[in-house]
Structure 1
Amino acid sequence: MEIAIIGAGAAAVSLLDALSLTQHRPGGITVFEDSPSWWRGRAYQPDADAVRVNAPPTLMSVRASDPQHYARWLTEHGGHDHVDRLLGVPIVPRAHYGTYLAASADDAIARLRSHGRRVELVADRVTGWDAARATVRTAGGGVYPADRLVLCAGGGHPRDHYGLLGAPGFVLEPYPLARTLADVPPEASIAVIGSGLTAVDIVVTLADRGHTGPITMLSRRGLLPAVQQTLMPLTFHHLAHQRMPDTVAGLVTAMEAELAEHGQDLAPLAAELTSTEDPVDRLRRQLSEVDSPYLGRRLLATGIHMFGSAAWQRLPAQERAWLRDEALRTVNSLASPMVPGNAEILLRLFDSGRLRLLAGTVKIEPATHGFRVHGADEFAPDIVVNAVNPVAHSVPQRSEVLVASLRESGVAVTGEDGGLTPRDERIFVLGAFESGTSFVAPSVQTLAVRAAALAPRLAQ
């Protein structure tokens, strides 16, 4: 059996680890990656120390069967130098987590080779798959065996929503922030397009570099990520893959029943989902609730990552459309919270007046010097940094040629959400552009669970 893995980020690391732990016959695995960021992907490449992992260690293990896998590695590799004051656990620079991913990949490859598997790493881009010959071809002209094809290529490329590409002072792809923000004058006025986790990274990095100029976040909904709470043991009795509700109302009822198991009610969580609270007031309140015994936000975030895709597939089209159009940002803010350390930095900047968040639709255009932002408040930033991530299920730029060829040959089709749906049982998708999954970006924990389920099928 010859397996071709396209992409070498966190999804591929989880898959290699899972494959190394399965009972399998000797065979070949070829991993293809044409960027220099082997095993780290876009998120975990070398960067500024202020760019931190967004979750506690037990939610960041690449091994689904061992939630402490990453925590043990951290203990041995200096993670306790970066303990979040409110969470009480290490929240390390994201590049340090990238080192964990690389180490996990190396360990998995060593195990696979010790079991008689050939593992080859190819620094080239796959452009097509020949189903009849069971081979892939690359941009460099190589041909490699591939009985099974697994696309682990991550998410798409950020969009230039305002047509600013090429304008001096505009940054479309912010990562790595150590490079893209290196030459920003400390007194410059900065506009950040977006207010999600990437925007938080940008603001926190600027603050760490001693930036003194004004920073403005631009957000249509004016919504910041929620604040991560301390972990508590969670079990689900009413939400399960085997009896998943098929309506939003059914999901609400199931969540209400989960909370009732703990003697709690749905009202505080419902208020969180429908709140029109001022974003800075919400940030302040949620920082005060990091240790709150109320489980609503914890259950919702965990449930979205555990059951989100299964629930999404059962919902009727009109309810999926409503969630996508009306609830996407609110659900994302709760499903992917920021760590309290970053939240404290943002609150200090808001309170000092150096940071503000403008809600509503804006127009941004280049000016003679810098830019002009037109909206509820017009101003002239020197620099504009994009923090809007690719839309869910968008095809990664590096995989566009391959995906187009798969579609043209009929072995895969575009799903209703824009993602990829295989039509050949030898093709698999693991990651952000897999069709049929929810609009919430998959967490490392989600990828690890999916990889563990996929590995036995690939080893057959």
Structure 2
Amino acid sequence: MPPYGAEAWGMDIAIIGGGAAAVGVLDALASAAPARGSIRVFGPSPHLWRGRPYGPDLDSVLVNAPPAIMSIRHADPGHYGAWLGGRGDAYLDERLGQPLVPRAVYGEYLEQTAEKALAVLRERGRWTEVVAARVVGAARSGGRLVLRTEDGGEHVADRVVLCVGGGRPHDHYGLAGAPGFAGDPYPLAGTLENVAPETDVAVIGSGLTAVDVVVSLAARGHTGRISMVSRTGMLPHVWQRPGAHRPRHVTTERVRALLDDHGAVTLDGLAGLLRAELADAGEDFDALLADLRAAPREDPVGRLRRQIAAIDAPEIGRRVLQETSHTVGPYAWRLLADDDKDRLRALFRVATSVASPMVPVNAARLLELFDSGRLDVVRGVERIERVHGGFRIDARGPDTRRTSWIAGRVVNAVNPPPHAIGQDAAALVAALVAEGLVAPCPSGGVLAADARVRIVGDLAGDGPFVTSGIPGVAAQGAAAARAVLAAAP
């Protein structure tokens, strides 16, 4: 136990959460933290450092991005690729030309990175501890903060970094507790274990989580009907093979120049940067925009087929949008006026589909299932209810025709909204708000209201509406570590 209150001890840091965001913070601290003080990590998960997405699961549940953008060390984009080494050869997605490992393997990377960071900190004289308990309260105590855990423990800290992650899927149709309904699909190894191969399965949603469910069902030899059911029926875009182009106009520096030259950053100004980027490459901005606007209305299977055919296409438009949504997007978002933010939020489904596309190996598997008649997409779902023998699903398609059928199982694959406050973190966030340490953000999430608190991940209310990927989490984690260390005595 460190001697809290002893001036010679230095700064005591608390990291609340034990997933990828916490690993990013720890790794950044290990690279620069002075020897004095303590670091406590509060992580009640049985799969520490992996978070919800990267725990043990089926091999069919893949990391959805190539190694170049999956490094948890913000200052070293090659960190994950170096760790993966030759292991990646066994997981090569030939269409993408990159290794795409099972998420559980990526979880090993996070786990080993965190443990190495802790070892480095200890070698330097830092006192470290992992507390396997959830933090449910916080209060001021003089110039310090007291954190209360669910087991009644109290822990003092000078700085707190919130890394609690997002929420879990919402139960839009009130099916919680119904036999045959899976409210949270992960880990899929457990969710799909007792699904008979011939059972008709409805998957609520048509995004990346729904893709994971469908592909994993197929990998287990499922023969029954699988339906992806949602309001829009729009599938994610498909990753294109990485190219050599690096943005020259859609950059943080050019966005900053917009601010300096015009006193504001607007959505039209950002569109101008993308227009210039495409013009330099001889491409048509308006054609790209028209294609994106057509996404919600186009037949999803036809669009999927076109995008698979374009995996190797030379056009840079979607590649630039996908890359810069995570690199430039968070900076630009904070400079936009509220009306421009609302314009972007109205395009949420298309924006997230472009920013977080599906990997080619999964796209090809989906197309095979569609072509075989074993998979369909149903748009305009209005109601799902438990009935004798399963679940009745009612939908009204784009042509206004109604359809209805019975599914034996329903898997909820709807992702929580951006900046959602998860059930596990609700008590803590309420306590932080009550103490004036954070403040609710009108668009969701919370904002730090005290210099002693930093927020990493989608809980940060001033972040963009696109769910943070590993690049964003790593960048936020490094920034939080810098801010904490800058305040060290």
TM class by shorter chain equals: over 0.9
Do structure 1's residue 311 and structure 2's residue 321 form an aligned pair?
no
* Equivalent residue, structure 1, for 2:265: 246
- CA shift at 1:35, angstroms? 1.8
Match for 1:248: what amino acid?
A: L
Superposed, which structure 2 residues align to 1:236-315 within 5 Å?
236-240=248-252, 241-243=255-257, 246-275=265-294, 276-315=297-336
CA distance in 2, matches of 1:299, 1:269: 11
- CA shift at 1:23, angstroms? 4.9
* Equivalent residue, structure 1, for 2:177: 166
Superposed, which structure 2 residues align to 1:131-146 within 5 Å?
131-132=140-141, 133-146=144-157
Q: Tell me the alpha carbon deviations over residues 292-347 of structure 1, each in whole angstroms, 9 at most, x when there is no partner.
A: 111101100111111222222222222322322x2000000000001000000000
Q: Tell me the alpha carbon deviations over residues 240-283 of structure 1, each in whole angstroms, 9 at most, x when there is no partner.
A: 25235622222211111122233323134212311132111111
CA distance in 1, matches of 2:70, 2:291: 26
Which of 94, 107, 110 is equivalent to 2:103? 94
TM-score (norm 1): 0.97
SS in 2 for 1:141: coil
CA distance in 2, matches of 1:446, 1:209: 33
- CA shift at 1:131, angstroms? 2.2
Structure 1 range deviating more: 124-133 or 444-453: 124-133
Do structure 1's residue 52 and structure 2's residue 95 form an aligned pair?
no
SS in 2 for 1:86: coil
Which of 438, 443, 451 is equivalent to 1:417? 443
Do structure 1's residue 393 and structure 2's residue 398 form an aligned pair?
no
CA distance in 1, matches of 2:238, 2:29: 35
Match for 1:264: what amino acid?
A: E
Residues 249, 274 of structure 2: 8 Å contact kept: no
CA distance in 2, matches of 1:320, 1:361: 28
Residues 161, 480 of structure 2: 8 Å contact kept: no
What number of residue pairs does the alignment pair up? Answer: 458
TM-score (norm 2): 0.91
CA distance in 2, matches of 1:265, 1:115: 55
Residues 27, 114 of structure 2: 8 Å contact kept: yes
* Equivalent residue, structure 1, for 2:123: 114
Match for 1:302: what amino acid?
A: E
Q: Tell me the alpha carbon deviations over residues 4-29 of structure 1, each in whole angstroms, 9 at most, x when there is no partner.
A: 00001111111111111115342111
CA distance in 1, matches of 2:443, 2:483: 25
Residues 60, 70 of structure 1: 8 Å contact kept: yes
Q: Tell me the alpha carbon deviations over residues 220-259 of structure 1, each in whole angstroms, 9 at most, x when there is no partner.
A: 1121011111112423334325235622222211111122
CA distance in 1, matches of 2:184, 2:391: 18
CA distance in 2, matches of 1:279, 1:224: 6
What CA RMSD, in Å, does the superposition of the two structures yield over aligned residues?
1.4
Structure 1 range deviating more: 60-69 or 237-246: 237-246
Residues 240, 312 of structure 2: 8 Å contact kept: yes
SS in 1 for 2:18: coil
CA distance in 1, matches of 2:445, 2:248: 29
Match for 1:184: what amino acid?
A: V
Unaligned runs of 5+ residues in structure 1 are none
Do structure 1's residue 209 and structure 2's residue 209 form an aligned pair?
no
* Equivalent residue, structure 1, for 2:454: 428
CA distance in 1, matches of 2:210, 2:447: 31
Residues 8, 153 of structure 1: 8 Å contact kept: yes
Residues 309, 437 of structure 1: 8 Å contact kept: yes
- CA shift at 1:457, angstroms? 1.4
Residues 308, 437 of structure 1: 8 Å contact kept: no
Greater Rg by CA: 2
Residues 25, 459 of structure 1: 8 Å contact kept: no
- CA shift at 1:145, angstroms? 2.2
